[in-house]
A and B are shown apart, each in its own frame.
Chain A
Amino acid sequence: MKQRGFSQVTTVVVAALLALLVAPLFMGWLVVDVKTKGADKHHFWIPLPIGVARIAMVFIPDKELACAPPQELVKHRELLRSILDNLDRCGDTTLVEVRSPEATVRIATEAGKIRLDVDARDAKVHSAFKVEGVRKALERWDGGQVHPHQALDLLASLGRGELLSVESDEADVSIAYW
């Protein structure tokens, strides 16, 4: 009897290809949105599937991507860890509030996230990320070179949502992780 339709092998290959195509949808996505202002307006919207970035990094020699961390970060690593340990136990509260004619600054902890809001004359900055994520990333980091996979681990542990937004006269920038 003559069989019609796809063979078993074809079905498996198609399913695997589909899975490869669909998988990034379920991975974390880093979305960078940049809108420049002024006469020369541009809009860049760059979605980057973290899983694909991880796979791509496998093919690049680690030494090509690893970089030295800022000296200040290395120097104050223990202080940062200690601060994050304490912040993790704070509950929801406003830690720092500054009001002046030049700017309003608020640093608060909300639902396990640290939230930074700066409303200055020339720019508005908002940032929110999971305290525990950064704390764990710092625990895993030995203070040496920062490897790209470590940066991606950190990114993935910051929590979903908008991580940073900057509104200024030159451009609006938003970095989100979904």
Chain B
Amino acid sequence: MTRRSIYLAVATAALATVARCEEMRWFNLEVNEPRRDTEVRLHLPMSLVVAALDVVDTKDLHHGKVHFCSHSSEIDWPAVLRQIRSAPEGQPVTVKSDDADLLVTRVGPIVKMRVDEHGTEGERLELSIEADLLDALTINSDSTVDVKALVARLGNTRGEVLKVESHDAHVRIWVE
């Protein structure tokens, strides 16, 4: 009887551990700025990120929605997203504006974006993002992004979801 109780307790503890590991997903962010010799690493429970997004109510972040003041605000983002989603795989989508040129190509599960800013100090920004994540991305006409929906989608993903390469910084976001 005692041995049986011990086995039961061990089995319960093991199941509880597995269940706990199953529910604990981690959001990871790594930012390297070589010019400024700066490194930032975040390793946060996904539930914490979701909870924070849900509650925070500031000027820029309002209950999981971010209003971004894009310098290329004349770009019709909802239209661009529709174009990217409907484009055949491998076929690039090009968007030109006064401030920057955007080139987007869908390759398998990854969407690659290249932003070339105009001007003498124009920078090149390269982004790789999970296509699934892009599907969850909604940008309203008033340049509002539903970050909460994006993070909720991250909950179903594992591995690298976003990579940004620029002159100044390397950013990597992954879920484990």
* A interface list, Cβ under 8 A from B: 76, 78-79, 82-83, 85-87, 89-90, 93-101
CB-CB contacts below 8 Å: B11-28 with A: 20, 24
What are 30 pairs between A and B in contact, CB < 8 Å?
A: A76-B55, A78-B55, A79-B51, A79-B56, A82-B48, A82-B51, A82-B55, A83-B48, A83-B51, A86-B45, A87-B45, A87-B48, A89-B24, A89-B45, A90-B45, A93-B43, A94-B43, A95-B43, A96-B43, A97-B40, A97-B41, A98-B38, A98-B39, A98-B41, A100-B37, A100-B38, A100-B39, A101-B36, A101-B37, A101-B38
Tell me if B's interface is mostly helix, strand, loop or mixed: mixed
* B interface list, Cβ under 8 A from A: 20, 24, 36-45, 47-48, 51-52, 54-56
- Residues on A with C-beta less than 8 A from B56 are 76, 79
Provide the bound-state CA to CA distance between A90 and B37, in Å.
Answer: 30
- Residues on A with C-beta less than 8 A from B40 are 96-99
Provide the bound-state CA to CA distance between A95 and B43, in Å.
Answer: 5
Provide the bound-state CA to CA distance between A82 and B44, in Å.
Answer: 13
Nearest-CB residue, chain B, relative to A90? B45
- Residues on B with C-beta less than 8 A from A96 are 40-44
Within the complex, the shortest CB–CB distance from A176 to chain B, in Å, comes to 29
Task: Kindly name the residue among A86, A90, A93 whose own CB sees the greatest number of chain B CB atoms within 10 A.
Answer: A86
Q: Name A89's contact: one of B20, B37, B39, B52 (CB within 8 Å).
A: B20
Provide the bound-state CA to CA distance between A87 and B44, in Å.
Answer: 9
Provide the bound-state CA to CA distance between A98 and B41, in Å.
Answer: 6
Contact between B38 and A86, CB atoms less than 8 A apart = no
Contact between B52 and A83, CB atoms less than 8 A apart = yes
- Residues on A with C-beta less than 8 A from B44 are 95-96
